[in-house]
Structure 1
Amino acid sequence: MGTNKRILISGYYGFDNSGDDAILKAIVKDIKGKNNSIEITALSNNPIFTEKVYDIKAVNRFRMKDVIKAIKECDLFISGGGSLLQDVTSTRSLWYYLTLLKLAKKFNKPTMVYANGIGPINRKTNRILTRKTLNRVDLITLRDEDSKKFLKDLEVENRNIFVTADPVFTLEPSDDRIIHDILTKEGVPEERPLVGVSVRKWIDEENLIPNVAKAVDYIIQEYKADVILIPMHYPEDLSISNEILERVTSENCYIISNKYNVEDIMGIIKRLEIIVAMRLHSLIYAATQNVPMVGIVYDPKIEGFLKSIDMGHMCPAEDLKFDQLISNIEYVWENREDLKNRLKELDTKLRKEALKNVHMALDLLKE
């Protein structure tokens, strides 16, 4: 393959989002693990941070002159992973990622959509633009079957579409000693069972916050467990976590108030008996550590992931019902050992599927 190949990676990087940071970390690790001579550059909101943490090059994603230069100089353009191609967050975001793919094709660069979760895309113009762009991409890998179904509904006719798994399944948690030190620093005792709760800011917070707080009280009282609130995106998740903590009437509820790296958060989640979570990657971290979960569904990608791992214990964030949430928590708590064993069996398969992404990317780089 030579020693001067360059890969440029685009994604939602440098925004203090643990899930997206985990994706980049996994992609870089897996590529370097196969060929350490490849030069990797990422488009980032915080290039200095990205270069320091991931030991790669980084370009400011909003300086289009530098972005175009990086595309011209690369040998493979990767878009991914995560939920980049959707218009629920904003049309501007979708257009940004589609434009980068179109530019890469304009400069005759091999292009890969890497383990994406695609959709929803609701606006007609956005659907047409996405279909046209994805039909020209060299390779598309998806993290779930729902995304493949969405592309079929979108009438994407690209023949090189494969369902693999999220890159994060190849990451490992931090050492137990490190996690012990973090929990000590955060004032979290380790004598009782631990249950995690990870939520994000949401339009229906007036209903979400009190019901999650009541559920925390229920868990502490019924299961004689401690609850840890785990923010995944700063500062938004920390803010709503503090609001929930203020509503909890029981003692034994704690919050991870400092920022930690991906492996540390994964290691904290590994300590849990179960987790109740909204953000996709808090659920993915749990799956990698065989921790049973209850999902709070604010986006189709959450439901899609839970179904893909046969963990159907979830309730909608919209108009969240306390009784429904508790019913799911009770089931998962009472059956947690069986659920852990099911996740263990699945973990090996998903790790292999996640590594297929890097094998296909490197094959494309050789061409």
Structure 2
Amino acid sequence: MTDDAGLTIGVLGSYGGRNLGDEAILTGLLSDLRHLEPNARIIVFSRNPAHTALAHPDVEAVPWEGVSRADSSLILADLDLLILGGGGILYNREARRYLRVVRVAQERGLPLLTYAVGVGPLSDGVDTGMVRETLAGATEVTVRDQESRMVLEEAGLLNPITVTADPAFLLEPEDFPASWLREEGVPSGKRLVGLSVREPGRAAERLDIDGYHRLLAQIGDFLVHRIDAYVLFVPMERDDIRHSHGVMSHMTAAERGRILHGDYTPRQVLGLMRHFDLAVGMRLHFLIFAAMAGTPFLPLPYAGKVFDLAQRLGVPALRGVEREVEGPLLAEVDRLWDERDSRAEQTAQLVAKACDQARATSQVTRGVLESIRSRALSRAAEAQVPH
């Protein structure tokens, strides 16, 4: 191995599913790897390799779902390092699927790094055991929030755990021209509120669909009348469109609502946030984007990761959208609007801190890469010494 030869790095996560949050994670992670290891050959294990290859033409994309151990082993044989993460992938009934690939890698002696991974909820015995045993063999374990560290500690993992921040905090925005908003049917010269909803699903099983649709409709109507705003629903994945329509169907001022329909990249959606006067939402990365853009935002928590973000960024952590009632929630929205300017400086400082914490993952990764490269160069030098 020569000094300028790049390592071969595999990246395994919830990629290729057309979820803007997961794609934001991958975009931030890949940008970091390119900075750390410019000549690296990067192989992304994806649910939809064609989509991943189109979005990231400088990487190789391969399938991992429904792939045999033998076929996985052939791909893993080329790697110098496997990166697991980031994002929330180690939770009940899902962790075991990712860790099957990781176990094949570890059987080959491949180093493992978890990259700002999200963990939990984790109560299933099979998943808990696999997480504990597999991550015990990791070179480094980094998680994106305090909740994930607590879940791993409760699962019995004894390794040192480094808390950093979501890789989406590494993103730089792309411009989202006002003309694109007009093409989406959003009139110019009006206040604009961004709203994010999500489907119940395994990550939010306690949500009552009709109940939270009505609650979010009340928020939309309140903002239309309180600040004379238009409401733009921002789907972070395709099924969010259906639930956005569900919310609008309960709005009395539905004519002031629009749903974003274009196909945009994570960096473009981050750029969109500068057009909002206010953002209210459920999706984690919608809220991260709003925070990064300096847009006043209110989380509607449905899971620990959203509570953790609220705490990290110093914004109100409500009881959870599945248990909220109209009065206190609308009062908090009203307070956010009134106090938006006074809160801005403190929030900006905490966002900057979160960005620094996200860059801390890069420092851990740099150390792992340098160690792998050093060992590889030592082996190459030894191989050249005549015996």
TM-score by length of 1: 0.93
- Partner residue of 2:336? 332
- Partner residue of 1:28? 30
Cα deviations by residue, 1:213-258 (Å, 9 ceiling, x for unpaired): 1211110001112211111011x10111112222222232211022
- Partner residue of 2:316? 312
Larger radius of gyration: 2
Whole-Å separation in 2 of the counterparts to 1:67 and 1:330: 53
Output the amino acid matched with 2:194: G
- Partner residue of 2:189? 191
Whole-Å separation in 1 of the counterparts to 2:173 and 2:182: 17
Whole-Å separation in 1 of the counterparts to 2:342 and 2:34: 36
Q: Which of residues 353, 357, 369 is equivalent to 1:353?
A: 357
Whole-Å separation in 2 of the counterparts to 1:3 and 1:286: 39
- Partner residue of 1:81? 86
Gaps of 5+ in 1: none
The Cα RMSD (Å) is 1.6
- Write out aligned runs for 1:1-367 (5 A): 2-55=4-57, 56-62=59-65, 63-64=67-68, 65-87=70-92, 91=93, 93-159=94-160, 161-175=161-175, 178-202=176-200, 203-234=207-238, 236-250=239-253, 251-367=255-371
Report the 3-state secondary structure (helix = DSSP H, G, I; strand = E; otherwise coil) of the residue aligned with 1:73. Answer: coil
TM-score by length of 2: 0.88
Report the 3-state secondary structure (helix = DSSP H, G, I; strand = E; otherwise coil) of the residue aligned with 2:5. Answer: coil
Whole-Å separation in 2 of the counterparts to 1:290 and 1:335: 14
Whole-Å separation in 2 of the counterparts to 1:115 and 1:312: 24
Output the amino acid matched with 1:58: A
The answer to whether the Cα contact below 8 Å between 1:75 and 1:365 also exists between their aligned partners in 2 is: no
1:339, CA displacement in angstroms? 2.4
The answer to whether the Cα contact below 8 Å between 2:72 and 2:104 also exists between their aligned partners in 1 is: no
Whole-Å separation in 1 of the counterparts to 2:127 and 2:52: 30
Output the amino acid matched with 1:246: S
Whole-Å separation in 1 of the counterparts to 2:351 and 2:304: 22
The answer to whether the Cα contact below 8 Å between 2:307 and 2:317 also exists between their aligned partners in 1 is: no
What number of residue pairs does the alignment pair up? 359
Instruction: Report sequence identity in percent.
Output: 28
Cα deviations by residue, 1:290-310 (Å, 9 ceiling, x for unpaired): 222222222111112211222
The answer to whether the Cα contact below 8 Å between 1:131 and 1:154 also exists between their aligned partners in 2 is: yes
The answer to whether the Cα contact below 8 Å between 1:315 and 1:324 also exists between their aligned partners in 2 is: no
Whole-Å separation in 1 of the counterparts to 2:356 and 2:187: 36
The answer to whether the Cα contact below 8 Å between 2:44 and 2:62 also exists between their aligned partners in 1 is: yes
Report the 3-state secondary structure (helix = DSSP H, G, I; strand = E; otherwise coil) of the residue aligned with 1:195. Answer: strand
